[in-house]
Structure 1
Amino acid sequence: MVPSICLIWTIALFCFNSSVIAQIDEWSYRERISRPRVYAGSSPYQGADFTDQSISSALRSQRDLAMNTSINRIEFPAINLASSFFGNNYTDAKVQDIGSVLNMGYRRLVLDLYWDSTRGNWQLCPEAIPSADLQQHLAERPDIVLPIASVNDSATEQPLSSYKKQSTNQSSMSNMPSAQSSLLPSIRKGFVANRFEPVQLDVTLGSQTCTPWITFRHFMDYFNLYLNGVDPLRNRANTDLFFLILNLNNVNVTSSTGSQPLNTDPQWTNNLSANQSLSLRQTISSSIGQSLLKTPRVYTPQNLTIDRSNLSASFNTTGLPYFSTTKNTTSNTLTTENGWPPWFYLIEKQVQLLVGFGDNYLPSDSNYDVEDDANYIFDQKALSGGSMMNVLNVSSMAATGWTNCSSPGNNIYMVPSGNETTELDEVPAGGRTMSWSWAYMTDQGSPFNYYSGYNASSCGYSLYMTSTYSSSEYPEAPNDISTLADPILSTIWSWDVGQPPYVAADSSNGSSLMCASVQLSNGRWVACDCAQLFRVACQNSNDPNVWLLTNGYYSYDRAAAACPQQYQFDVPRNAQQNRMLFLTMKDAGKHTASTARVQNQADDQIWIDLNNGGGQDCWVVGKNTTCWWTNANSQTFTGLIQTSVVGGVIILIFVSLFIWVKCTRMWRLRNAGIRKAIVQKFIKEREYVTIPA
């Protein structure tokens, strides 16, 4: 009895602990990825620790302030992985470092994929991987089965031998049922990165060093590990939206022509065979799992279409005036053609990723059809991917002297995405226009330094890093990847260097309460004593880019009542709003200097509606409020609770089975005893003594 109970508890605890360990392993992924020790580049932050509290607080407060801003008007730093990260190194060790890039602050990754039409695989290595003839291998192994997923992703199995070899000018899916008839190839369920490793790990092909078995699926597996670690439900303080832009190319077969087949493990070849002809949609959806609330973590074009068709049922008018709306008289609903949801709307839905196409260099006769992914992956124009990210160059902008953020040079002029006011009065005749929606500025030909990056970011442009930031330029950097952290410092458009301070005292007694003000000298924020008297920044209720300053001086507590009608005491929610406030302050400063009023120190700073009343590291708008992520502690272990329920059910099943077996045995023994007693009684009754004759 006792050994059986011990066995049951051992099995139950194993099931429970294995699930918990899996959860904790995902959570600790962010802590295990490589990161720089200090910021080593030439900037005012040089030598600061990578975990410096003022830097993380500044970046987090920028994220929080933009929570109700349309995502196309928020800055998301981007990096070209091919030029700034991979270089000539497409090995497994390099791919595993993708979490480090995300952890440093990059939110949009531009990835070059290479289509191997022979195998039907998307790979990271630009060169074709020579190997034994795959078709011959399949002919020798007809028992290999390929999972086939229908449009509702239910899986069946079908032998690979049922597929006929495709010609190069024919679709690889032409002999399969169409998407409309519901059958498309899918990755094996349960496949994880590093499960199948070849005997030969890294090889040199042309100028590239590649791990032969690394595919797009492996990249997405590592990407998913990071997303799990910053899930909106379990890690609100560090969660964010991420974007993946895919540039599509054919593999380069020139440098690998005539190369000897690689000595690969048969297990890997079998797996590669079973995963051929995968669509990008299937690869992404099978790698990026559901959220803890069992909802999709990828926001798709189909989702956007539904949200735009009825704003009342989606994000309503949150984000105006960055998009236009139309009233549908037939359905009596509010719609939009160019609106994007606000950041917090997606985070509440547990969304973490948007995927878009960049440049498509596949030949016209390619056997891969991107139209199959149209409902899942945004086109190039929607997210301004690919070459659209290279139009605005920091060198051209610097040549203008940064005098007008809406005139970035090369006869290009930035126009509003909605009805908001900008620095641009009108577009000159013959000028080219670009929208502020998804506005990126690249460093092609001229790597960002801290100041050029900051100037671009403070204008409202998202930085797009394409240059190589070598560790030779950063003597304190331990490796090349650690240098990628420094450009992120340029994206802090709000707080000044060293701000906001981290106050160790308990804010509940009021001794550490501090409020934010904008400096006239540079437009950046500093923390001040809330009792000081400054003028107040008032934002127009209909146009967030229109500001005015009060004539009188007020403490922070009285600032909310100081603004006139149609204006409210507020704080810039994105870089462009802060830029427009700064211009208003400079104009007011000129007016003050030209009048008889003597300018004093109080004119050098302006109150904005931001304070740390929510906690030591929590900067909030308004009084008696708190950061939306501070109540995450009560939900931190939601995953563990869910896992505990699963573990409890498993325990209940095993205990029930144990009790049933024991009770059945006891009932059987009891019945056997009763039958034995009956037999013995019967035998005894039939016993009699015989007398010899």
Structure 2
Amino acid sequence: MSGNSLYDPDQSALDTRWTQPWSEAFRAQRDVGLRVPINFQTVPAVSLRQACFSGNQYEHNAFRKCFSNLLGVGFRRFDVDVYWDALQSTWGLCPVELPGNNGDRGDNSVSTSLGPLVSASTDSVLAKIPDSTAAPLNSLGFDRRQDASQLSTAPVSSSVASASSTRSASSSTTSANAKPTVISFPSPDGAPPLQQIGRYNCTALMRLGLLTGILYDFLEATSTTTGASLLFLTIDVHAASSILNPNAPAPDLSPAQLPTSDSLLNDEFRGNLSSLTYTPSLLSSQQGDLNTSWDNVQWVNRPAEGYYDVSRNDQGKHLTRNGWPTEAFVEFQQFYRVSVGYGTIDPQMRLYNFGPDLDYIFPPGTFTTTKTTSVAFNGQVLSGCLFDSSDTGVTSERNSSWAITTAPSLDLSAKADFTTAIPAVANLTSCGITALLNEALGTTADKNPLPYAAYVRSTLWSWAPGEPKNATSAADQSGNRCAVMSLSPDPGRWRVVDCTERHRVACRRPDENYSWQISDDASDYYDAPSTCRSPYRFDVPHTALENKHLIAALQNDDRRSPDEAIFIDLNSINIQECWVSGPNGTCPYLSTDDTDRIRIVVVPTVAAVIIFLLAALTFFDLERLTFNVANVK
């Protein structure tokens, strides 16, 4: 990456996501789902507290590497803990108030001592920072993030979450007569020192602007048809613990201690992400007039039917109250790349003025429909799966809109196995549920991104490991580029075959999302549409849950052979790197006579219709985060 970019992942992280055939597999999976509303898509999700801060270390170089690696391996949803530092009047990522430039509060309540020189290297493997002298996170009730089942789903005005009784009970209390000490560990490069404040080690650059700056640079680095994806941030709002009593829960804040009108949370996100954020006001406006928004596109890019209710108002306009746009519309027509929503809100922040934020940040619970699940030791989902073969449409009982659950505890090798999916993660994904990674995988992602990459790969519900084969080889220009699905050796996964082979065909009913039939007759790929009985049509699964229903249809077909493969409507006949539906499908990335097979088109199209044009934005200015560090006496 550029030396001026805050987004700076390890090459090992990028290699797990952006090398063939993996980049091709993720891109093709994204593309088949572009017409499905974004709330029905399963995406890799992670808690930053666990993946980056499980050791109570909040150092800016380590976080920069950690967040960059998580973005680099392909996570698309992040749960972020944000803290209001009433002492500095800033939004930060450190759970405790930070001292001022003089190393104290501006009075004599806190003393500062000088620790030894430390090297907080940007090398994620060699970074050396002092360990906190306090108890580990699990003794604080932080060993895992609050389960998704406990997340607030109420409006902001009634959504203040109760403080964790575990945290309150287990937090040690500093004597009122004791004088807290901050230990400052200077850095040899002149960067802000690492400061040990009670249980936590933090640097002054651990501000919310660092996170949004890294995110902006990532979005800019991936602003192409081949690299773009839509990201989601869920923000849990806390008050920082007092520097006078850092190991205790945060105190209640008076109105004078809360953010003022010029330091609201939405202002922090607008600073770097304003032009890239899909907001509640946009959603409301578009829901109220589908004729001029989601439906005002070429027919091939219209939203898939059956995922939300549509009615007509007195003026004849179509509207929806429960619908969401598709990724094709949000990302490739309106050019938005991220959405931000509230998660939980601590009671200490109950007097904060959330009203102005709600035009920009979605209310609590918007991105969360909690599903209670149980998973066996072998990864089998015992309860809570949204799949039911008898439900062929989107039903209230098995609605996968924003469905999420906490993934079970995992024990992964530091080297990670990329050839086999993690069973629990893969099975929850197939059930139509986003599995939230709520623990550190051996160590934080700045030190080793590989287990996190293995987690992301396990959310790939479409292609079998190592597929699509021949995606990078130009030696064979025959028809060996069509997709089939089979029940073995990788049940329900896709692989590449010669388009002239003869197979039976996957046929879906257009007005019922999960209604599949397997054709009676076999054919080659080119004649496959003719084998489907009306009203069924040759099709490809667009979501993990659609794929699960197709698997069931094949399993329940009495005519199938044990190793039978069936055609799905996906091919790369015209352009080897680009997967489309239909023999005459047009690649949105490369022309048929383009000889540079690795060229990335910066002005993308979807179905050769939608034009993607990102506005020019100024790089995030790292200097705005600089900290004038005075000599510690």
TM-score, normalised by the number of residues in structure 1: 0.64
1:440 aligns with 2:432: no
1:202 aligns with 2:194: yes
Looking at structure 1, the residues matched to 45 and 615 of structure 2 have their Cα atoms a distance apart, in angstroms, of 35
- In the TM superposition, 1:93-242 aligns within 5 A as 93-97=61-65, 98-131=67-100, 200-231=192-223, 235-242=224-231
Specify the alignment match of 1:528 in structure 2: 497
Structure of greater Rg: 1
> Residues 124 and 461 (structure 1 numbering): CA distance in 2 closer, same or farther, change over 3 Å?
same
Deviation, 1:241, is: 0.3
CA contact (8 A) 1:206 1:255 kept: no
- Deviation track 1:154-212 (CA, whole Å, cap 9, x = no partner) reads xxxxxxxxxxxxxxxxxxxxxxxxxxxxxxxxxxxxxxxxxxx9864211122221112
Deviation, 1:633, is: 5.0
Specify the alignment match of 1:576 in structure 2: 545
1:609 aligns with 2:569: yes
> Residues 577 and 209 (structure 1 numbering): CA distance in 2 closer, same or farther, change over 3 Å?
same
Looking at structure 1, the residues matched to 322 and 3 of structure 2 have their Cα atoms a distance apart, in angstroms, of 36
Looking at structure 2, the residues matched to 362 and 415 of structure 1 have their Cα atoms a distance apart, in angstroms, of 40
> Residues 100 and 608 (structure 1 numbering): CA distance in 2 closer, same or farther, change over 3 Å?
same
Looking at structure 1, the residues matched to 4 and 484 of structure 2 have their Cα atoms a distance apart, in angstroms, of 36
Task: Name the SS of the counterpart of 1:363 in structure 2.
Answer: helix
CA contact (8 A) 2:96 2:246 kept: no
CA contact (8 A) 2:40 2:400 kept: yes
Deviation, 1:382, is: 1.8
Looking at structure 2, the residues matched to 128 and 364 of structure 1 have their Cα atoms a distance apart, in angstroms, of 15
Q: 2:328 is matched with which residue: 322, 338, 344?
A: 344
Looking at structure 1, the residues matched to 22 and 328 of structure 2 have their Cα atoms a distance apart, in angstroms, of 22
Q: 1:33 is matched with which residue: 3, 6, 9?
A: 9
Specify the alignment match of 2:432 in structure 1: 460
Specify the alignment match of 2:24 in structure 1: 57
1:311 aligns with 2:287: no
Q: 2:315 is matched with which residue: 324, 327, 331?
A: 331
1:252 aligns with 2:241: yes
Deviation, 1:50, is: 5.5
- Deviation track 1:225-277 (CA, whole Å, cap 9, x = no partner) reads 1111112xxx210101011110001111266569xxxxxxxxxxxxxxx9995
Look up the equivalent residue of 2:570 and give its one-letter code. L
Deviation, 1:51, is: 4.7
Task: Name the SS of the counterpart of 1:113 in structure 2.
Answer: strand
- The aligned length equals 492
Looking at structure 2, the residues matched to 492 and 124 of structure 1 have their Cα atoms a distance apart, in angstroms, of 30
Looking at structure 2, the residues matched to 325 and 447 of structure 1 have their Cα atoms a distance apart, in angstroms, of 45
Q: 2:521 is matched with which residue: 527, 531, 552?
A: 552
Task: Name the SS of the counterpart of 1:560 in structure 2.
Answer: helix
Looking at structure 2, the residues matched to 305 and 337 of structure 1 have their Cα atoms a distance apart, in angstroms, of 9
Which structure shows the bigger proportion of residues in helix conformation? Answer: 1
Task: Name the SS of the counterpart of 1:551 in structure 2.
Answer: coil
- Deviation track 1:518-540 (CA, whole Å, cap 9, x = no partner) reads 10331111111111111111110
1:480 aligns with 2:448: yes
Task: Name the SS of the counterpart of 2:236 in structure 1.
Answer: strand
- In the TM superposition, 1:292-441 aligns within 5 A as 296-316=275-295, 318-328=303-313, 330-347=314-331, 348-363=333-348, 366=351, 368-384=352-368, 391-393=371-373, 396-398=374-376, 402=380, 407-408=383-384, 421=393, 435-441=399-405
Looking at structure 2, the residues matched to 480 and 571 of structure 1 have their Cα atoms a distance apart, in angstroms, of 36
Looking at structure 2, the residues matched to 306 and 485 of structure 1 have their Cα atoms a distance apart, in angstroms, of 37
Specify the alignment match of 1:498 in structure 2: 466
Specify the alignment match of 2:265 in structure 1: 280
1:624 aligns with 2:584: yes
Task: Name the SS of the counterpart of 1:609 in structure 2.
Answer: strand
Specify the alignment match of 2:141 in structure 1: none
Deviation, 1:569, is: 0.5
Deviation, 1:286, is: 1.2
Looking at structure 2, the residues matched to 563 and 85 of structure 1 have their Cα atoms a distance apart, in angstroms, of 50
Q: Percent same amino acid at aligned positions?
A: 25
CA contact (8 A) 1:247 1:358 kept: yes
CA contact (8 A) 2:379 2:424 kept: no
CA contact (8 A) 1:444 1:467 kept: no
Look up the equivalent residue of 1:466 and give its one-letter code. N
> Residues 28 and 463 (structure 1 numbering): CA distance in 2 closer, same or farther, change over 3 Å?
same
Task: Name the SS of the counterpart of 1:354 in structure 2.
Answer: strand
Looking at structure 1, the residues matched to 200 and 219 of structure 2 have their Cα atoms a distance apart, in angstroms, of 29
Looking at structure 1, the residues matched to 442 and 381 of structure 2 have their Cα atoms a distance apart, in angstroms, of 31
Looking at structure 1, the residues matched to 260 and 479 of structure 2 have their Cα atoms a distance apart, in angstroms, of 58
Deviation, 1:641, is: 13
> Residues 354 and 504 (structure 1 numbering): CA distance in 2 closer, same or farther, change over 3 Å?
closer
CA contact (8 A) 1:217 1:283 kept: yes
- Deviation track 1:26-77 (CA, whole Å, cap 9, x = no partner) reads 99776x52142699xxxxxxxxx66541222111111011011100011121
Q: 2:511 is matched with which residue: 542, 554, 558?
A: 542
Looking at structure 2, the residues matched to 478 and 92 of structure 1 have their Cα atoms a distance apart, in angstroms, of 11
- Deviation track 1:461-502 (CA, whole Å, cap 9, x = no partner) reads 122101110159xxxx99333431110111111111211103
Specify the alignment match of 1:681 in structure 2: none
Looking at structure 1, the residues matched to 31 and 43 of structure 2 have their Cα atoms a distance apart, in angstroms, of 13
- Deviation track 1:405-431 (CA, whole Å, cap 9, x = no partner) reads xx417xxx7899xx9526x8xx9xxxx
> Residues 403 and 283 (structure 1 numbering): CA distance in 2 closer, same or farther, change over 3 Å?
closer
Specify the alignment match of 1:668 in structure 2: none
Look up the equivalent residue of 2:326 and give its one-letter code. P
> Greater relative contact order (Cα 8 A, min sep 6): structure 1 or 2?
2
- In the TM superposition, 1:58-77 aligns within 5 A as 58-77=25-44
TM-score, normalised by the number of residues in structure 2: 0.70
Deviation, 1:359, is: 0.4
1:564 aligns with 2:533: yes
- Deviation track 1:620-656 (CA, whole Å, cap 9, x = no partner) reads 111122332336856469999999xxxxxxxxxxxxx
CA contact (8 A) 2:344 2:364 kept: yes
CA contact (8 A) 2:87 2:97 kept: no
- Deviation track 1:350-371 (CA, whole Å, cap 9, x = no partner) reads 10010000000142654x3222
| Structure 2, gaps ≥5 residues long | 108-188, 248-258, 296-301, 413-420, 592-598, 605-610, 617-633
Specify the alignment match of 1:450 in structure 2: 422
Deviation, 1:344, is: 0.4
CA contact (8 A) 1:68 1:318 kept: yes
Q: 1:469 is matched with which residue: 429, 441, 444?
A: 441
> Residues 78 and 533 (structure 1 numbering): CA distance in 2 closer, same or farther, change over 3 Å?
same
Looking at structure 2, the residues matched to 363 and 339 of structure 1 have their Cα atoms a distance apart, in angstroms, of 34
Specify the alignment match of 1:176 in structure 2: none
Alpha-carbon RMSD across the aligned residues, in angstroms, is: 3.7
Looking at structure 2, the residues matched to 220 and 301 of structure 1 have their Cα atoms a distance apart, in angstroms, of 19
Which range moved further: 619-628 or 570-579?
619-628
> Residues 444 and 642 (structure 1 numbering): CA distance in 2 closer, same or farther, change over 3 Å?
closer
- Deviation track 1:525-583 (CA, whole Å, cap 9, x = no partner) reads 11111111111111101112101111111111110111122111010011111100100
Specify the alignment match of 1:518 in structure 2: 485
Look up the equivalent residue of 2:201 and give its one-letter code. T
Deviation, 1:585, is: 0.3
Look up the equivalent residue of 2:23 and give its one-letter code. S
Looking at structure 2, the residues matched to 277 and 548 of structure 1 have their Cα atoms a distance apart, in angstroms, of 58
> Residues 26 and 408 (structure 1 numbering): CA distance in 2 closer, same or farther, change over 3 Å?
farther
Look up the equivalent residue of 1:536 and give its one-letter code. V
Deviation, 1:455, is: 1.0
